[in-house]
Structure formats: structure tokens, C-alpha cells
């Protein structure tokens, strides 16, 4: 075999995590006899029908994904959790690959993969591999049975945090997927993502603790350098300029606009900005969701942030997933904290069985209305 041919074949294989198809090898100048010899001599190993591993190592996930795509043929793309992993929306590589192909194509199912046939398929390249676009991936994942609103909000939050998807782009795509089983849930999750939700725990706290119980004044993703003074000045300016142009309310504040609030940590031209998950700047209260997903390796960093908050006169309230399963209890604690720090409002009940207003009134000696 001519050295130039072998060099071209190996360059292609190396760009595909050591994997190459028979058709690709022939297209680079190898003869069928040379391919046969490479396989039967043990230099290449068959890992899918007509697809070979050109090294002696164990194929990793990316090599298996390449092999499955090459086996599935033209128009095939990684989809669902496989595409989500490629986009960085899932931290763990799925054991079962998902491959989407155009409807009507006859495909021999690759080993270790499931085939999904799609009438319309939005495909892009990611690290050289064909994958479904971010919005197609989100639509596919959220259409799966059992996918919750918290999981949907977290997925959209991760996409927004990595600047991969804008909620309005997903909403536009959703117009063509009117039959999507979770369309209403996706629209609600998009609204959360617009406001700055970046995790399922943030979504849970925002919806079931703060909004459901009328705890006003909180904003999402407030930069750490925003001070009470700056917000108080903004409030005074807003009150004095109502006759001209009134600034729009930021994410979840139900009150005064907070400079820089409601945007992702990554939405900064000068690099990532440190932000609080939820913050009531005027009362000096910071709410942080302590979820395993984001805080597992940041114990010391979180405590540093808490010290900085205390030095600025702010109180940090940390909410874990266990606590979030009892939203009324968390809301009561937060409402009492707000009252002690000067809040003149009153919490509301989240439903007929919620007695939070009465308990709050008894503890603060206020009359629940």
C-alpha cells in the first residue's frame, strides 16, 4: 500500500476517534483486498457492520458513537440523550446510543443503539459528528414520558448558561411542533429561562416557594457587586420618572429593576460574572440552591461567597432539595426572615390547605388578611 494512501486513511480515522468505515477506506484509495487484510491480520477490528477500529485500545464512548453513525449511514445523527451529552447538557454519557434517521430510510440497527425515524430532522455538526441541533434535542428530550417541569427548566437553563439556545428560538420551533405533548410545560420553562433560571432547584424555589407564596422583591442571577444603595437609587429614579419611560421589571423581582439581573452567568463580555441564584437586594437576603449537581465540588467557594455576603450586610439562605420538597416550610422561614429585615408585606397561601399566612401572622403578631 502506498504511504500516502495509508496516511490519508489514518488521518481520517484519527479524526473519528480511531474509527473508519469500509466505504471511507475505499474512498481514500485502499483496495478491498487491503481492507480485508487489515481486518484479518488483526490490525483493524470490526465494531459495527462495515465499520472498524484502527487501534488496539478499547473503544470509548465517542468511538462507539462514530461507529454507530457510520453504520447507520447518510443522514443519521445522534439524538436525545446522546446529542445532549455532545452539547454538554448532560454530564454522563448514556450507555444506549440514540440515532435519528430520516423517515422512510431502511437502516440496519447498529449494536448498542436505538433508531428513531423522523419526518423532519434539524442536524448540525458537533466535534465532527452529526447531531441534532440544541433546540431539536430539547424538543426530543422533553417529549419523553415522565420528563418533569423541573427537569425541563434545568435543561433549558443549562442550554442558556452555555449560550447554546435562546428561549425565543425554542418557542419559534415549538410553533411547528404543535403536537408536542409538553408544549405548555416548555412555554413555562422558557419563561423561567428568560428570567434566568439555570437549574431545576432554582426553578423549584422560584415557582413553589417564592411565587406561590407572594414573597416579593426577589430577582434571579443578580451580580454580587449590586448593592442596596444602587437599587435604592434606581427605585427613586423610577419613582421620579414615571411620566417618561418606565424601565422594564427584571426577572422575578415583582418590584424594582435590578441592574444586571435575569441574565446568565455566562452572558458577560468580560467573562463569567459571579451571581446569586435569587436575591432580594433591598432586604439584603440572598437565596442559594444547594443542589448536588452544581454545588457538589464548591463547598469552600460557597462559604467564601457567604462570608462576602455577610461582610456586605447580607444574609444567605441556603435551600437543599430535601427542603424544597417542603416549599411551605421554606416559604415560612423566608417570609419571617424578610419581616425581620424590614419587609412590610405579607405572604399568601399557595393553595386551600396552606396555612402559611396564619402561622406567619401568629409568629410576627400581625393580622393575616
| 52 lies in the same domain as 120 | no
| 236 lies in the same domain as 297 | yes
In a domain? residue 350? yes
Q: Residue 170 sits in which domain range? A: 63-195
**pLDDT number for residue 206:** 87
In a domain? residue 181? yes
**pLDDT number for residue 358:** 94
In a domain? residue 247? yes
152, 173, 195 - which closes a domain: 195
In a domain? residue 271? yes
| 204 lies in the same domain as 351 | yes
Taking residues 20-40, report their average pLDDT.
95
| 71 lies in the same domain as 167 | yes
| 130 lies in the same domain as 246 | no
298: pLDDT confidence band, cut at 50, 70 and 90?
low
| 214 lies in the same domain as 357 | yes
**pLDDT number for residue 99:** 96
**pLDDT number for residue 365:** 80
Q: CA 99 to CA 83: how far, in whole Å? A: 9
**pLDDT number for residue 331:** 95
| 52 lies in the same domain as 118 | no
Q: Are strands 113-118 and 97-102 parallel, antiparallel or unpaired?
A: parallel
3-class DSSP state of 203: helix
| 234 lies in the same domain as 306 | yes
**pLDDT number for residue 258:** 43
**pLDDT number for residue 187:** 78
In a domain? residue 369? no
| 327 lies in the same domain as 346 | yes
CB distance 187 to 172 below 8 Å: no
**pLDDT number for residue 232:** 54
Highest mean pLDDT among 59-68, 137-146, 190-199: 59-68
111: pLDDT confidence band, cut at 50, 70 and 90?
very high
CB atoms within 10 A of CB 369: 7
Taking residues 288-315, report their average pLDDT.
75
For the stretch 151-172, pLDDT in tens is: 887 788 788 778 898 877 887 7
Output the nine-digit C-alpha cell for 313: 450586610
Taking residues 187-193, report their average pLDDT.
73
Question: Considering its fold, how many domains does the chain have in total?
Answer: 3
Which of 211, 345, 364, 205 has the alpha carbon at shortest distance from 286? 205
Taking residues 358-365, report their average pLDDT.
91
Residues in Cβ contact with 84 at an 8 Å cutoff, skipping those fewer than 6 apart: 90, 137, 141, 155
3-class DSSP state of 103: coil
**pLDDT number for residue 188:** 74
For the stretch 221-276, pLDDT in tens is: 777 766 655 555 545 444 444 333 333 333 344 444 444 444 544 444 444 566 77
Look at 26-40, 290-304, 354-368 and tell me which has the smallest mean pLDDT.
Answer: 290-304
Residues in Cβ contact with 67 at an 8 Å cutoff, skipping those fewer than 6 apart: 19, 47, 48, 51, 53, 59, 110
138, 165, 195 - which closes a domain: 195
% of the chain beyond a pLDDT of 70: 80
For the stretch 322-331, pLDDT in tens is: 777 899 999 9
**pLDDT number for residue 349:** 96
Q: CA 72 to CA 114: how far, in whole Å? A: 11
Q: Average model confidence (pLDDT) for the chain?
A: 82
In a domain? residue 188? yes
Instruction: Flag whether pLDDT at 345 surpasses 80.
Output: yes
| 175 lies in the same domain as 316 | no
| 153 lies in the same domain as 45 | no
| 318 lies in the same domain as 206 | yes
In a domain? residue 233? yes
Q: Which residue has the cell 435569587?
A: 278
**pLDDT number for residue 119:** 84
Q: Which residue has the cell 448498542?
A: 112
In terms of pLDDT, which residue wins out, 125 or 207? 125
Residues in Cβ contact with 324 at an 8 Å cutoff, skipping those fewer than 6 apart: 201, 204, 205, 208, 209, 289, 330
Instruction: Flag whether pLDDT at 217 surpasses 70.
Output: yes
What does residue 336 show for φ and ψ, rounded to 5 degrees?
Answer: -65, -40
Highest mean pLDDT among 96-100, 262-266, 313-317: 96-100
178, 195, 212 - which closes a domain: 195
Amino acid at each position: 500500500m502506498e504511504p500516502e494512501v495509508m496516511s490519508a486513511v489514518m488521518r481520517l480515522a484519527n479524526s473519528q476517534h480511531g474509527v473508519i468505515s469500509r466505504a471511507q477506506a475505499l474512498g481514500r484509495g485502499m483496495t478491498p483486498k487491503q481492507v480485508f487484510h487489515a481486518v484479518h491480520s488483526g490490525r483493524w477490528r470490526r465494531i459495527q457492520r462495515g465499520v472498524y477500529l484502527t487501534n488496539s485500545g478499547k473503544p470509548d464512548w465517542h468511538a462507539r458513537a462514530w461507529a454507530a453513525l457510520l453504520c447507520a449511514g447518510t443522514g443519521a445523527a445522534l439524538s436525545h440523550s446522546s446529542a445532549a451529552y455532545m452539547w454538554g447538557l448532560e454530564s454522563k454519557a448514556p450507555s444506549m446510543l440514540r440515532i435519528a434517521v430520516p423517515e422512510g430510510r431502511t437502516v440496519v440497527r447498529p449494536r448498542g443503539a436505538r433508531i428513531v425515524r423522523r419526518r423532519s430532522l434539524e442536524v448540525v455538526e458537533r466535534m465532527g459528528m452529526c447531531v441534532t441541533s440544541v433546540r431539536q434535542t430539547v424538543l426530543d428530550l422533553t417529549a419523553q414520558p415522565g420528563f418533569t417541569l423541573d427537569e425541563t427548566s434545568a435543561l433549558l437553563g443549562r442550554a442558556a448558561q452555555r449560550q447554546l439556545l435562546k428561549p425565543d428560538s425554542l418557542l419559534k420551533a415549538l410553533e411547528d411542533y404543535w403536537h408536542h405533548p409538553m408544549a405548555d410545560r416548555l412555554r413555562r420553562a422558557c419563561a423561567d429561562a428568560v428570567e434566568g433560571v439555570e437549574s431545576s432547584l432554582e426553578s423549584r424555589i422560584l415557582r413553589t416557594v417564592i411565587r406561590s407564596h407572594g414573597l416579593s422583591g426577589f430577582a434571579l442571577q443578580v451580580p454580587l457587586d449590586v448593592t442596596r444603595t444602587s437599587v435604592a437609587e434606581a427605585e427613586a429614579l423610577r419613582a421620579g420618572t414615571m411620566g417618561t419611560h418606565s424601565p422594564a421589571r427584571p426577572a422575578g423581582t415583582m418590584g424594582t429593576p435590578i441592574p444586571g439581573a435575569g441574565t446568565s452567568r455566562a452572558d458577560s463580555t468580560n467573562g463569567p460574572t459571579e451571581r446569586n441564584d435569587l436575591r432580594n437586594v433591598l432586604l439584603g437576603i440572598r437565596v442559594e440552591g444547594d443542589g448536588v449537581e452544581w454545588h457538589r465540588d464548591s463547598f469552600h467557594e460557597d462559604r467564601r461567597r457567604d462570608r462576602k455576603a455577610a461582610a456586605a450586610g447580607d444574609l444567605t439562605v441556603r435551600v437543599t432539595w430535601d427542603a424544597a420538597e417542603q416549599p411551605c416550610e421554606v416559604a415560612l422561614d423566608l417570609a419571617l426572615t424578610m419581616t425581620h429585615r424590614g419587609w412590610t408585606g405579607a405572604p399568601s397561601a399557595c393553595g386551600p390547605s396552606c396555612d402559611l399566612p396564619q402561622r406567619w401572622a401568629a409568629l410576627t403578631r400581625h393580622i393575616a388578611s
